Amino acid sequence: MSSIDRDIDQGKKHHKSVLLKLTVAIALAALLALALYLIVPLLSGEPDSAASDEKQQRGADNEAAQLAKTLSDDEKRALQQRLSQTKAVLSAISDAKRNWQPDTVSSLNERLQKAYALYGQSHFQRTEDTLDDIDKALSQFNTAYEQAYISALEEARSAYKNGNIHDARSAVSAALNVKPDDAPALALKARIDVFAEVQSLYEQARVGKVENNLQKQYEALQKIVALDPEQAEAKQALSQVEQQIGDTSFSAVMSQAIKAVESKAYDRARELLIQASKLKPNNAQVATLQARIDQEQRAAGQADVEAQIRVFAQADEWKTVSMLAEKSIQSFPQSQVLQLARTNAEKILSARQTIEQYLARPQRLADERIRANAERAISQASEISALSPSLQNSISDLESALSGSNAPLPVTVYSDSKTYIKVMGVGVVGKVDEKQISLKPGTYRFEGSREGYRSKIISVTVSANTYPLSVRLVCTEKV
């Protein structure tokens, strides 16, 4: 059994006897009305009285019909549900609304109780009518409630806008009396409460502007915005003052940075540029001065490196020149000094290495091909030797080695005094038993001839490594 059914059963028990008595009374009333309808006209003869009695009879008949009306189970459940919903709606009325018009809320609850009673008496149509009245009254109540709040709040806003703070305070109090916790009304009340202080701060800001005291303006405007964030005028003025302060600070920092650059204090200048960038990010002046610092530092660094390279070159330390130029050229690729230093170092070091190879094995210089290569190496090294005294010395040493390797060496020729001997392409030795001749290092062909004998040719290599050298040539094979 539902709660509404239990409520209704209790009501039925209470009214059961009343209903029975009421039914009997209605029946008796109907009989009496009928008797009066028949008797009174006969006695009085007045037609108006008969019509009145007929109207009363119809009212009694309608009441009887109302009592006799019945609903289906589904219709009862629907009406029960409507009763429950109306009860829930009335129970959910906020405290603010109850406090605003408590009599109206009490009246609505009383009507609801009447609807329950009518339902318990099976006056279903009257129950529905009562619920309709409640819905209409509740809608009017809610509309009046919202309208009262909106009107009071709009009045407060208008008064505040016009500077009528007393009226604004009264109106906003009326709005909060309707809706005590409403955010817009509370926000407006907060603005009204600080109005006098805000006006005083505006005056301070004005004085600061007259005095050209940016800090005084800034502090006053900042307090205004903190007290009343909706002060658009203060916000705009604060933004302008902040920009002015920022411009002034930026100009001061940039001035210091420029002086630091001019005095070559690059580290200090960079620190100041960091401060300036925080005041004005992505500023063109900061970028320009930064580029100037970078350029000057690169130029200074390049000049230092070039000066060091010149010192090492003059000291004939070309290995150091080569390493320093190779490393520095990555930072200063456009430096012609570094480019030329690297090229000269490569040539000098390469020439040194080549000449040292020949000097390490001077005996090889006896070979004509090797001698020729050594002479070409000397010619190439001479082109760059003016830059390196040590290379000049190496060239002199190799030239001496070449000269020594080309000096004539004694060669002893042995024969039988009958064989005619000559050095092909050089000269005649003649018929000798033993003869010493001189030949420069190289390979020679000795030819021996004798009448009646087959000629004979031998190849001989003359070098310091074969010293002392002897040659024996005799024609022994007869023709």
Cα 374 to chain center, whole Å? 67
- Largest alpha-carbon pair distance within the chain? 212
| 54 and 37 Cβ atoms separated by less than 8 Å | yes
CA atoms 389, 395, 397, 403: torsion sign: negative
C-alpha dihedral (16, 18, 23, 26), degrees to nearest 10: -170
192: in domain: no
| Domain final position from 357, 380, 406 | 406
CA 26 to each of CA 123, 263, 288: distance values in angstroms, whole numbers, following the listed order: 16, 120, 109
Q: How many domains does the chain have?
A: 4
Q: Are residues 338 and 389 in the same domain?
A: yes
| 413 and 473 Cβ atoms separated by less than 8 Å | yes
178: in domain: no
pLDDT in tens, 318-334: 999 999 988 888 888 88
Q: Are residues 31 and 122 in the same domain?
A: yes
Q: Are residues 8 and 131 in the same domain?
A: yes
Q: Are residues 144 and 23 in the same domain?
A: yes
466: in domain: yes
Paired residues of 420 in beta bridges: 431, 449
CA atoms 341, 344, 350, 356: torsion sign: negative
Q: Nearest 5°: CA angle at 460, between 458 and 464?
A: 170
Tell me the mean pLDDT in the region 116-120.
92
In single-letter form, the type of residue at position 96 comes to A
| 185 and 179 Cβ atoms separated by less than 8 Å | yes
Query: Position of tokens 């009383």?
Result: 110
Q: Are residues 415 and 398 in the same domain?
A: no
pLDDT in tens, 364-402: 776 778 888 988 988 888 888 888 999 889 898 888 877
The pLDDT value given to residue 343: 93
DSSP-derived secondary structure letter, 418: S
The pLDDT value given to residue 28: 47
194: in domain: no
CB atoms within 10 A of CB 305: 21
% pLDDT > 90, the chain:
30
pLDDT in tens, 293-327: 887 767 777 788 889 889 989 988 999 999 998 88
Phi and psi angles of residue 208, each rounded to the nearest 5 degrees, phi first: -60, -35
264: in domain: yes
Distance CA(227)–CA(193), nearest Å, equals 10
pLDDT in tens, 245-298: 778 887 888 888 888 888 878 788 888 889 888 877 888 888 888 888 887 767
Q: Are residues 21 and 128 in the same domain?
A: yes
186: in domain: no
Distance CA(382)–CA(378), nearest Å, equals 6
442: in domain: yes
Q: Are residues 230 and 357 in the same domain?
A: no
DSSP string, 217-280: HHHHHHHHHHH-TT-HHHHHHHHHHHHHHHHHHHHHHHHHHHHHHHTT-HHHHHHHHHHHHHHS
Nearest Cα to Cα of residue 195 among 219, 163, 157: 163
Q: Which two tokens stand for residue 411?
A: 């060669």
Per-residue pLDDT at 103 exceeds 80? yes
Per-residue pLDDT at 14 exceeds 50? no
Beta-sheet pairing, 427-431 with 420-423? antiparallel
Q: Which domain holds residue 382?
A: 294-406
Confidence of residue 62 (pLDDT cuts 50, 70, 90): low
Q: Are residues 15 and 73 in the same domain?
A: yes
| 467 and 436 Cβ atoms separated by less than 8 Å | no
Q: Which two tokens stand for residue 240?
A: 């302008």
Read off the pTM: 0.40
The pLDDT value given to residue 70: 76
Q: Are residues 230 and 368 in the same domain?
A: no
Q: Are residues 415 and 402 in the same domain?
A: no
CATH number at residue 451: 2.60.40.1120
Distance CA(218)–CA(211), nearest Å, equals 13
Phi and psi angles of residue 463, each rounded to the nearest 5 degrees, phi first: -155, 165
Most confidently modeled range among 150-154, 195-199, 246-250: 150-154
Which strand (E) or helix (H) includes residue 170? helix 165-178
Q: What burial letters (b/e) apply to 332-349, b meaning 16+ CB within 10 Å?
A: beebebbeebbebbbbbb
| 318 and 381 Cβ atoms separated by less than 8 Å | no
pLDDT in tens, 74-99: 999 999 999 999 999 999 998 888 88
| Domain final position from 375, 391, 406 | 406
Q: Are residues 145 and 12 in the same domain?
A: yes
Nearest Cα to Cα of residue 435 among 471, 390, 393: 471
C-alpha dihedral (377, 382, 385, 389), degrees to nearest 10: 80
In single-letter form, the type of residue at position 276 comes to A
172: in domain: no
Per-residue pLDDT at 420 exceeds 90? yes
CA atoms 346, 349, 352, 356: torsion sign: negative
| 183 and 149 Cβ atoms separated by less than 8 Å | no
| Domain final position from 108, 134, 150 | 150
Q: Are residues 29 and 130 in the same domain?
A: yes
Q: Nearest 5°: CA angle at 215, between 209 and 216?
A: 55
